[in-house]
Amino acid sequence: MRGVPVFVHWSFPLGGCAIALVATDDLESGAGYGLAYAALIALHELAHAATARRLGIRVHAIELAGVGGLCHFQVPRSTRDTLLVYSAGLIAQVVLLVATLATVAIFGMPRAPFAAAVVAMFTWGNGVLFLVNLAPGRSQRGLLTDGGMLWGMARHLYLDGPHPLAAALAASPVFEPTRRLLTIAELVPEGFVDGIEILNDDSTPMEFVVEMLECHAGLSREAAIASMLDIHKRGGMLVSMPDRKSAEAAAEAIASATHAQRHSLVCRAVSSADDVDQAPGRT
Protein backbone atom coordinates (compact mmCIF):
# COMPACT_ATOMS: atom_id res chain seq x y z
CA MET A 1 0.00 0.00 0.00
CA ARG A 2 1.88 3.06 -1.32
CA GLY A 3 5.15 1.21 -0.94
CA VAL A 4 4.39 -0.22 2.52
CA PRO A 5 3.92 -4.01 2.71
CA VAL A 6 0.76 -5.11 4.54
CA PHE A 7 0.83 -8.61 6.06
CA VAL A 8 -2.56 -10.15 6.85
CA HIS A 9 -2.38 -13.10 9.23
CA TRP A 10 -4.76 -16.02 8.67
CA SER A 11 -6.37 -15.26 12.06
CA PHE A 12 -7.45 -11.75 11.02
CA PRO A 13 -11.09 -12.66 10.18
CA LEU A 14 -11.38 -14.91 13.23
CA GLY A 15 -11.27 -12.02 15.74
CA GLY A 16 -14.47 -10.56 14.35
CA CYS A 17 -16.03 -14.02 14.07
CA ALA A 18 -15.39 -14.67 17.76
CA ILE A 19 -17.11 -11.40 18.70
CA ALA A 20 -20.01 -12.20 16.40
CA LEU A 21 -20.52 -15.63 18.01
CA VAL A 22 -20.75 -14.02 21.46
CA ALA A 23 -22.86 -11.02 20.41
CA THR A 24 -25.54 -12.63 18.20
CA ASP A 25 -26.89 -15.77 16.60
CA ASP A 26 -28.11 -13.90 13.52
CA LEU A 27 -25.94 -14.44 10.42
CA GLU A 28 -26.44 -10.93 9.02
CA SER A 29 -25.65 -9.28 12.36
CA GLY A 30 -22.64 -11.55 12.76
CA ALA A 31 -21.28 -10.40 9.40
CA GLY A 32 -21.67 -6.79 10.52
CA TYR A 33 -19.81 -7.38 13.78
CA GLY A 34 -17.03 -9.29 12.04
CA LEU A 35 -16.41 -6.78 9.26
CA ALA A 36 -16.69 -3.78 11.59
CA TYR A 37 -14.13 -5.28 13.97
CA ALA A 38 -11.70 -5.90 11.10
CA ALA A 39 -12.23 -2.31 9.91
CA LEU A 40 -11.48 -0.98 13.42
CA ILE A 41 -8.18 -2.86 13.60
CA ALA A 42 -7.18 -1.76 10.11
CA LEU A 43 -8.17 1.88 10.75
CA HIS A 44 -6.09 2.01 13.93
CA GLU A 45 -2.91 0.72 12.25
CA LEU A 46 -3.39 2.77 9.08
CA ALA A 47 -3.69 5.91 11.22
CA HIS A 48 -0.29 5.14 12.74
CA ALA A 49 1.19 4.60 9.28
CA ALA A 50 -0.36 7.71 7.71
CA THR A 51 0.76 9.95 10.58
CA ALA A 52 4.29 8.55 10.52
CA ARG A 53 4.60 9.13 6.77
CA ARG A 54 3.19 12.64 7.13
CA LEU A 55 5.94 13.40 9.65
CA GLY A 56 8.63 11.96 7.37
CA ILE A 57 9.08 8.82 9.48
CA ARG A 58 9.71 5.65 7.49
CA VAL A 59 7.01 2.97 7.74
CA HIS A 60 8.44 -0.53 7.30
CA ALA A 61 5.30 -2.71 7.35
CA ILE A 62 1.78 -3.17 8.72
CA GLU A 63 0.58 -6.42 10.29
CA LEU A 64 -3.10 -7.31 10.79
CA ALA A 65 -4.16 -10.26 12.94
CA GLY A 66 -7.23 -11.49 14.79
CA VAL A 67 -6.05 -10.20 18.16
CA GLY A 68 -4.96 -6.80 16.83
CA GLY A 69 -2.42 -5.18 14.56
CA LEU A 70 1.06 -3.76 14.52
CA CYS A 71 2.63 -0.91 12.56
CA HIS A 72 6.40 -1.11 12.13
CA PHE A 73 7.96 2.33 11.69
CA GLN A 74 11.22 4.12 12.24
CA VAL A 75 11.74 5.18 15.84
CA PRO A 76 10.62 8.85 16.21
CA ARG A 77 13.42 11.02 17.59
CA SER A 78 11.41 14.02 18.83
CA THR A 79 8.87 14.15 21.65
CA ARG A 80 6.25 15.73 19.40
CA ASP A 81 6.57 13.06 16.72
CA THR A 82 6.49 10.26 19.30
CA LEU A 83 3.28 11.55 20.86
CA LEU A 84 1.62 12.15 17.49
CA VAL A 85 2.47 8.77 15.97
CA TYR A 86 1.58 6.66 19.00
CA SER A 87 -1.69 8.52 19.66
CA ALA A 88 -2.79 8.50 16.00
CA GLY A 89 -4.64 5.18 16.24
CA LEU A 90 -6.53 6.30 19.34
CA ILE A 91 -7.42 9.63 17.72
CA ALA A 92 -8.74 7.81 14.64
CA GLN A 93 -10.96 5.68 16.88
CA VAL A 94 -12.36 8.79 18.60
CA VAL A 95 -13.08 10.40 15.22
CA LEU A 96 -14.90 7.25 14.08
CA LEU A 97 -16.92 7.15 17.33
CA VAL A 98 -17.99 10.78 17.00
CA ALA A 99 -18.86 10.33 13.29
CA THR A 100 -20.95 7.24 14.08
CA LEU A 101 -22.82 8.94 16.92
CA ALA A 102 -23.47 11.99 14.75
CA THR A 103 -24.82 9.80 11.93
CA VAL A 104 -27.17 8.00 14.34
CA ALA A 105 -28.32 11.33 15.82
CA ILE A 106 -29.17 12.67 12.37
CA PHE A 107 -30.62 9.60 10.67
CA GLY A 108 -31.63 7.44 13.62
CA MET A 109 -30.59 3.92 14.55
CA PRO A 110 -30.59 1.66 11.47
CA ARG A 111 -33.11 -1.17 11.43
CA ALA A 112 -31.17 -3.53 9.17
CA PRO A 113 -29.36 -6.14 11.33
CA PHE A 114 -26.07 -5.72 9.45
CA ALA A 115 -26.01 -1.90 9.82
CA ALA A 116 -27.12 -2.08 13.46
CA ALA A 117 -24.26 -4.46 14.24
CA VAL A 118 -21.77 -2.12 12.53
CA VAL A 119 -23.05 0.80 14.61
CA ALA A 120 -22.76 -1.26 17.80
CA MET A 121 -19.16 -2.23 16.98
CA PHE A 122 -18.20 1.33 15.99
CA THR A 123 -19.58 2.65 19.32
CA TRP A 124 -19.52 0.14 22.17
CA GLY A 125 -16.91 -2.12 20.62
CA ASN A 126 -14.83 0.89 19.64
CA GLY A 127 -14.97 2.20 23.21
CA VAL A 128 -13.79 -1.10 24.68
CA LEU A 129 -10.98 -1.36 22.14
CA PHE A 130 -10.00 2.27 22.90
CA LEU A 131 -9.64 1.50 26.61
CA VAL A 132 -7.64 -1.65 25.86
CA ASN A 133 -5.26 0.33 23.61
CA LEU A 134 -4.98 3.15 26.15
CA ALA A 135 -4.09 0.85 29.04
CA PRO A 136 -0.34 0.66 29.78
CA GLY A 137 1.30 -2.66 29.09
CA ARG A 138 3.18 -4.72 26.56
CA SER A 139 2.14 -6.89 23.64
CA GLN A 140 2.85 -10.62 23.36
CA ARG A 141 6.09 -9.68 21.56
CA GLY A 142 7.23 -7.57 24.49
CA LEU A 143 6.59 -4.27 22.66
CA LEU A 144 4.98 -1.36 24.48
CA THR A 145 1.31 -0.83 23.66
CA ASP A 146 0.11 2.60 22.57
CA GLY A 147 -1.00 3.30 26.13
CA GLY A 148 2.27 2.01 27.53
CA MET A 149 4.21 4.34 25.24
CA LEU A 150 2.03 7.39 25.96
CA TRP A 151 2.04 6.87 29.73
CA GLY A 152 5.80 6.26 29.55
CA MET A 153 6.29 9.56 27.71
CA ALA A 154 4.13 11.33 30.30
CA ARG A 155 6.30 9.96 33.12
CA HIS A 156 9.42 10.99 31.18
CA LEU A 157 8.19 14.54 30.61
CA TYR A 158 6.63 15.31 33.99
CA LEU A 159 8.14 12.87 36.52
CA ASP A 160 11.72 12.57 35.20
CA GLY A 161 11.16 8.94 34.27
CA PRO A 162 13.28 7.16 31.64
CA HIS A 163 12.50 7.72 27.98
CA PRO A 164 10.47 4.68 26.85
CA LEU A 165 12.33 4.60 23.51
CA ALA A 166 15.85 5.09 24.86
CA ALA A 167 16.97 1.57 24.00
CA ALA A 168 15.39 1.68 20.54
CA LEU A 169 16.99 5.04 19.76
CA ALA A 170 20.37 3.69 20.78
CA ALA A 171 19.80 0.67 18.53
CA SER A 172 19.15 2.83 15.47
CA PRO A 173 22.28 4.99 15.18
CA VAL A 174 22.64 7.91 12.78
CA PHE A 175 26.30 8.62 12.01
CA GLU A 176 27.79 11.86 10.82
CA PRO A 177 27.83 12.09 6.99
CA THR A 178 31.64 11.90 7.00
CA ARG A 179 31.78 8.72 9.07
CA ARG A 180 33.62 5.86 7.34
CA LEU A 181 31.96 2.49 7.84
CA LEU A 182 35.24 0.72 7.04
CA THR A 183 36.43 1.87 10.47
CA ILE A 184 33.62 -0.10 12.16
CA ALA A 185 34.74 -3.73 12.11
CA GLU A 186 31.28 -5.25 12.71
CA LEU A 187 29.90 -3.48 9.62
CA VAL A 188 32.58 -4.73 7.21
CA PRO A 189 31.48 -7.90 5.33
CA GLU A 190 33.98 -10.72 5.19
CA GLY A 191 36.18 -10.42 2.11
CA PHE A 192 35.01 -6.87 1.30
CA VAL A 193 37.23 -5.15 -1.29
CA ASP A 194 35.19 -2.68 -3.38
CA GLY A 195 31.65 -1.45 -2.97
CA ILE A 196 29.41 1.33 -1.74
CA GLU A 197 28.56 2.50 1.76
CA ILE A 198 25.11 3.80 2.67
CA LEU A 199 24.46 5.67 5.93
CA ASN A 200 21.24 5.72 7.92
CA ASP A 201 19.32 8.99 8.30
CA ASP A 202 15.99 10.16 9.70
CA SER A 203 14.29 11.45 6.57
CA THR A 204 14.95 9.37 3.43
CA PRO A 205 11.83 7.27 2.60
CA MET A 206 12.11 3.52 2.96
CA GLU A 207 10.93 2.79 -0.58
CA PHE A 208 13.57 5.14 -2.05
CA VAL A 209 16.40 3.22 -0.36
CA VAL A 210 14.94 -0.08 -1.55
CA GLU A 211 14.61 1.26 -5.10
CA MET A 212 18.22 2.49 -5.12
CA LEU A 213 19.54 -0.86 -3.92
CA GLU A 214 17.48 -2.69 -6.54
CA CYS A 215 18.30 -0.44 -9.47
CA HIS A 216 21.93 0.42 -8.81
CA ALA A 217 23.37 -2.17 -6.39
CA GLY A 218 22.00 -5.21 -8.21
CA LEU A 219 19.97 -6.56 -5.26
CA SER A 220 16.69 -8.45 -5.57
CA ARG A 221 13.56 -6.90 -4.09
CA GLU A 222 13.71 -9.17 -1.04
CA ALA A 223 17.43 -8.55 -0.50
CA ALA A 224 16.94 -4.79 -0.92
CA ILE A 225 14.21 -4.69 1.74
CA ALA A 226 16.34 -6.75 4.14
CA SER A 227 19.33 -4.47 3.50
CA MET A 228 17.24 -1.34 4.05
CA LEU A 229 16.12 -2.65 7.45
CA ASP A 230 19.71 -3.54 8.28
CA ILE A 231 20.85 0.00 7.42
CA HIS A 232 18.19 1.36 9.77
CA LYS A 233 19.12 -0.95 12.64
CA ARG A 234 22.93 -0.76 12.37
CA GLY A 235 23.45 2.81 11.15
CA GLY A 236 24.72 1.89 7.71
CA MET A 237 25.84 -0.86 5.36
CA LEU A 238 28.70 -1.76 3.06
CA VAL A 239 27.48 -3.39 -0.16
CA SER A 240 30.10 -5.33 -2.11
CA MET A 241 30.49 -4.63 -5.84
CA PRO A 242 32.58 -6.48 -8.49
CA ASP A 243 35.18 -3.70 -8.79
CA ARG A 244 35.90 -0.05 -8.04
CA LYS A 245 34.54 1.17 -11.38
CA SER A 246 31.10 -0.43 -10.85
CA ALA A 247 31.05 0.85 -7.25
CA GLU A 248 31.73 4.41 -8.41
CA ALA A 249 29.03 4.14 -11.08
CA ALA A 250 26.47 2.86 -8.55
CA ALA A 251 27.37 5.52 -5.97
CA GLU A 252 27.16 8.30 -8.58
CA ALA A 253 23.75 7.09 -9.78
CA ILE A 254 22.38 6.87 -6.23
CA ALA A 255 23.81 10.27 -5.28
CA SER A 256 22.28 11.82 -8.41
CA ALA A 257 18.83 10.35 -7.68
CA THR A 258 19.12 11.44 -4.04
CA HIS A 259 19.90 15.02 -5.08
CA ALA A 260 17.07 15.05 -7.62
CA GLN A 261 14.55 13.89 -4.98
CA ARG A 262 16.03 16.21 -2.32
CA HIS A 263 16.64 13.37 0.13
CA SER A 264 19.45 13.11 2.67
CA LEU A 265 20.80 9.67 1.81
CA VAL A 266 24.62 9.44 1.97
CA CYS A 267 26.14 6.96 -0.48
CA ARG A 268 29.70 6.78 -1.77
CA ALA A 269 32.13 4.33 -3.34
CA VAL A 270 34.70 2.83 -0.96
CA SER A 271 37.54 0.35 -1.15
CA SER A 272 39.42 -1.57 1.50
CA ALA A 273 42.57 -0.38 -0.27
CA ASP A 274 41.75 3.23 0.67
CA ASP A 275 43.26 4.90 3.69
CA VAL A 276 40.33 4.45 6.08
CA ASP A 277 41.58 7.29 8.26
CA GLN A 278 41.02 9.80 5.49
CA ALA A 279 37.46 11.19 5.51
CA PRO A 280 36.24 11.57 1.93
CA GLY A 281 33.65 13.94 0.60
CA ARG A 282 30.34 12.76 -0.76
CA THR A 283 30.21 11.11 -4.17
Query: What is the 3 state secondary structure string of the chain?
Result: CCCCCEEECCCHHHHHHHHHHHHCCCHHHHHHHHHHHHHHHHHHHHHHHHHHHHCCCCEEEEEEECCEEEEEECCCCCHHHHHHHHHHHHHHHHHHHHHHHHHHHHHCCCCCHHHHHHHHHHHHHHHHHHHHHHCCCECCCCCECHHHHHHHHHHHHHCCCCCCCHHHHHCCCCCCCCCCHHHCHHHCCCCCCEEEEEECCCCCCHHHHHHHHHHHCCCCHHHHHHHHHHHHHHCEEEEECCCHHHHHHHHHHHHHHHHHHCCCCEEEEEECCCCCCCCCCCC
Mean residue pLDDT of the chain comes to: 87
pLDDT at position 276, please? 46
Mean pLDDT by 10 residues, the chain (283 residues): 83 85 87 92 95 86 87 84 94 97 95 93 93 82 80 89 72 80 89 92 82 92 87 88 93 94 91 60 39
pLDDT tens-digit readout, 194-203: 999 999 887 7
pLDDT at position 6, please? 87
pLDDT tens-digit readout, 120-177: 999 999 999 999 999 887 766 666 789 889 998 998 889 888 878 766 665 567 788 8
CATH topology of domain 181-271: Ribosomal Protein L30; Chain: A, (3.30.1390)
- The residues spanned by each domain of the chain are 6-158, 181-271
